[in-house]
Amino acid sequence: MIYLDSAFIEEVESAVAMGWVKGVTTNPTLLNKVNLSPEVCLKQLTAICPGELYYQLCARDFPGMVAEASKAREIIGDKIVLKIPATELGFRVTAHLSSSINCSVTAIYSPAQAAIASEAGAKYAIAYVNRATRLLGDGLALVREMSEILKDSKTEILAASLKSPEEVAATLQAGADHLTVPMSILNAMATHELSEKTVAEFTTNGIGITGY
């Protein structure tokens, strides 16, 4: 599955119109960029998002996170996937909520964290590929190791923090099941200079049932 990583309504509308983008991931930074309250923004996103809509918990204690999860579900309904930080607290919250609500564990930087995400019942383990390359040296190796560890698990790998179509392809080859990217990368993935050139050539030289 390919998700758009954005909270901008216009971007989500454009991505949904592409037809092959099925869901949307948000995070607190993205929600903060939008000129709407998070509640209003999430309601509007829910109305236009065809599939899963990810919301990241911001509360910093167990009861607060559980209460925030239930408020988020009231707003987003069945499309919700909670993003829960890969911390000791986050894993506890995931284990508590994962039987009743779809959970992802986000900001995973080690295969061991992916193993805990699986054990805690997360539907997705989110790897921050480019950040891991920048901070640890090899984000693709992280995805490969996660993929090996999760091969018999129901927890799937969602790759995030991807900065180019080439990095997207390498991440999928490394074993990621899904990916989330900003609008600029969606557009870049769908476009290739040679495809444009080839089509232009056919348009100049050819004919079809509608003519050219």
Q: Which residues bind ligand E4P (CB under 6 A)?
A: 5, 25, 27, 128, 130-131, 160-161, 180
Tokens of 67: 């209460």
| Minimum CB distance to ligand E4P smaller for 118 or for 161 | 161
Supply the minimum distance, in Å, between the C-beta of residue 54 and ligand E4P. Answer: 7
Supply the minimum distance, in Å, between the C-beta of residue 51 and ligand E4P. Answer: 15
d(CA 132, CA 140): 8
Supply the minimum distance, in Å, between the C-beta of residue 152 and ligand E4P. Answer: 25
| Minimum CB distance to ligand E4P smaller for 184 or for 195 | 184
Q: Name 117's Cβ contacts closer than 8 Å, sequence gap at least 6.
A: 86, 91, 94, 105, 108, 125, 155
| Minimum CB distance to ligand E4P smaller for 25 or for 113 | 25
d(CA 188, CA 145): 27
Supply the minimum distance, in Å, between the C-beta of residue 77 and ligand E4P. Answer: 20
| Minimum CB distance to ligand E4P smaller for 63 or for 104 | 104
* DSSP-assigned letters across all residues of 38-63: HHHHHHHHHHH-SS-EEEE----SHH
Q: Name 135's Cβ contacts closer than 8 Å, sequence gap at least 6.
A: 109
Question: Which residues are tagged catalytic?
Answer: 83
